[in-house]
Amino acid sequence: MVDVGAKPSTTRLARAEATVQVGEKLTQLISDNQVAKGDVLTVAQIAGIMGAKRTAELIPLCHNISLSSVKVQATLLKTEQSVRLEASVRCSGQTGVEMEALTAVSVAALTVYDMCKAVSHDICITNVRLLSKSGGKRDFQREESKNGIVTEVE
């Protein structure tokens, strides 16, 4: 692990997202809350929070961080036939929380897959990415232009 002992303790915030493409049939089942395993969006939110809290157990060499806030939002996008997941993680400490945010959306996405796989295996987890981070040596903000080109703002 990297020694972070000399770093200043600051408020760290990271946001990440993921998309789960589920198709027409699953979009309707999720919308009607008719998936056999239960409420997909709520369970995905809870799973994402649990994943963020256990990041250090899942990712080798990742620091165990005391988190002050974890928020996961799961939104069904009917026209895109997908579930959009976004996580926001905050702590006060000497190292960032981007791995916790990325783990949150990854676990939430895997939960959507698990809950829906009895209906279809044609489910695609895409776009797992960091949206922003702040509070450390370098801030990061992902910005997308109108033509779809991504630029990094530091």
Q: What are phi and psi of 106, to 5 degrees?
A: -65, -45
- How remote is the C-alpha of 109 from its chain's centroid? 8
Is 32 catalytic? The answer is no
Complete DSSP assignment for 28-48? HHHHTT--TT--HHHHHHHHH
**How buried is 62 (Cβ within 10 angstroms: 0-12 exposed, 13-18 middle, 19+ buried)?**
middle
10 Å CB burial of residue 39 (0-12, 13-18, 19+) is middle
Query: Which is the catalytic residue, given 32, 39, 114, 139?
Result: 114
Of 95, 83, 92, 53, give the one whose Cα is nearest residue 71.
53
Q: Which residues are marked as active site?
A: 114
